[in-house]
Amino acid sequence: MAIEKRHFGRTGHASSVLIFGGAGLRAADQGTADRVLDLLDEFGVNHLDVAAAYGDAELRVGAWMPSRRNDFFLATKTGERSYAGARDQIRRSLDRLRTDHVDLLQMHALYHPDEWEQAFAPGGALEALVEAREQGLARFLGVTGHGWTVAAMHRRSLERFDFDSVLMPWNWFAAGHVSYPKDFEETVRLCRERGVAVQTIKGLARGPWAAGAERNRDTWYQPLEDEADIEAATHWVLGRGDVFMIAPGDVDLLPRVLKAAAAFRSRPDEAAMTAMSERAGLATIFGL
């Protein structure tokens, strides 16, 4: 059962609404990664998101590229803020990914005002991204971020530069935050007007890891585990119809998330989500 595909903004690519989040391959061996590829093929996932900061993830995905490059919309990220640092990291990522270009090149986790100023200033990372696009090393450019200020920061970024995509947190619990939903909706509205793709993360966040809890998942936050809860949370995000969801970075949870995305037909109502929240003990993701 294939996962639904939607136009990824103005790029012309029809991407699976669930994007594979490569962070889960940061410490994986190639055998594990290749089993993930089999799963992605089974469910029709055709969009991969990795980053220079994700350990060995680029190397694991890179092993697929010599024979599968045309099958995937390939995205990576640089966390460098200077032109020189970003330029060098972009070329290293291409080497690790074993490709001459990526489809989407993103500035990673750009939400701190000081780092934002550096990245956009003369000699900043944005110049390296633009250069990469001009040289054919990247087709499209984007910006990503975390935290409760990121939606507003993305609008600031879009005012400065015409990015092709943004990435930010979104889930049912975050929709009840005191200020974030307003900023999120304003940013999504601007993106819709400009044809900018909106990617979301932390869709399956249960909350922060409790002090002393065993971190048995390869995620920054404690994720939902129950299949019914995963399905409800996934369907709630996808039910907007105007965003993409990046799968959480844990390869053991991936089959459940893929199954949930493939089963998507409609969005759960508020009563169902409230019941799920009370049962699962959802908590705020902000600060992560």
Q: Mind listing the pLDDT tens digit for each residue in 183-207?
A: 999 999 999 999 999 999 999 999 9
Query: Which pLDDT score is estimated for 132?
Result: 99
pTM over 0.75: yes
Q: Looking at domain 5-280, which of 3.40.47.10, 3.20.20.60, 2.40.480.10, 3.20.20.100 is its CATH number?
A: 3.20.20.100
CA 77 to CA 99: how far, in whole Å?
A: 15
Q: What is the tens place of the pLDDT at every residue in 218-268?
A: 898 999 999 999 999 999 999 999 999 999 989 999 999 999 999 999 999
**Model pLDDT, residue 288:** 67
Reported as a single tens digit per residue, the pLDDT across 104-123 is 999 999 999 999 999 999 99
